[in-house]
Amino acid sequence: MIISIALDRNYLEFAAVMLHSLARFGQVADCPIAVLCDGLTDDDKRVLSEASDSDRIRFVDLTGAVKRQIADLKSTTNWPTTVYACVLAADILEDVSGRLLMLDCDILVRDSLRPLIDLPLDGKAVGAVRIDKDAAFLATVNRRLGLPETTPYFNSGALLIDIGHWRRAAITPRALAWASSHADQIVYPDQDALNYALAGDFMPLDPRWNCYGKSWDTSDAAVIHFVYSKPNRADSQHPAKDLWLECRKGTAFASRALVTPWDISRRRWAKKLKALLPARSNA
């Protein structure tokens, strides 16, 4: 069993907190950790190593042929190309067999992951939590993917993967091929690509293994996924924000100021201005 995350420098703080929570609550000290990374410095890697409190962590830089596989795929500010690393992970980690637990960086581990690691997948390549949406939303998503409207669709924030089955089913090349040829249909990059490739053929997991819905009922959650309200925001009302901040104290980001609405507005205007400057210079 191996645990993996993927990030660029924009998600360094989230990754550090996630790894620290994994060490503190996950009860998986025997599991190696693979960090798939794009552009991290040696200091960044040291920060993550210290947060993980693990001597079994390794870093895999997304460079060369690996990066070229995803460089031209659709990405956004919120979803950089590194999100596709979860599509590549089972193939990138060539020396790994058995199971892979792929986790997003904006996750907090709050309870033991041992029961998840041992869950039967009933012959499926992937175990994942179905989206917390109504039938109309599901139908809309599946029409976009070209799948039957009732096809189950999962959130890709926490994926339990049978590596051998994944490779035999050629999930990586099928997902990447769809993402490459359907850029205009993509809304949730890696998630859409994987849901297309699996077409509902996955093992549904209990929501406690990826608790992310807007109801925010985290009472039984082992894995809390901050999809709708990021805990590093000053205005976040997420019920697990205090626990996230407590775990952050065990990282190099303990004293970092929370992001304010003004910070968000300023960054957006800076991006808009940057986008306009080349156009003006060429006028």
One-character DSSP codes across 34-93: EEEEES--HHHHHHHHHHHT-SSEEEEE--HHHHHHHTTS---SSS-GGGGHHHHHHHH-
Q: What is the enclosing helix (H) or strand (E) of 58?
A: strand 57-61
The domain locations on the chain are: 2-257
* CATH 3.40.640.10 fits domain 2-257: no
Give the pLDDT band (50/70/90) at residue 266: confident
- Taking residues 32-57, report their average pLDDT: 97
Q: What is the pLDDT of residue 217?
A: 83
- Give residue 277's pLDDT band: very low, low, confident or very high (50, 70, 90): confident
pTM of the model: 0.92
Q: What is the mean pLDDT of residues 83-107?
A: 94
pLDDT tens per residue across span 119-173: 999 999 999 999 989 999 999 999 999 999 999 999 999 999 999 999 999 999 9
Q: State pLDDT tens for residues 211-251.
A: 997 766 888 999 999 998 999 999 999 999 999 999 999 99
As a whole number, mean pLDDT of residues 36-49 equals 97
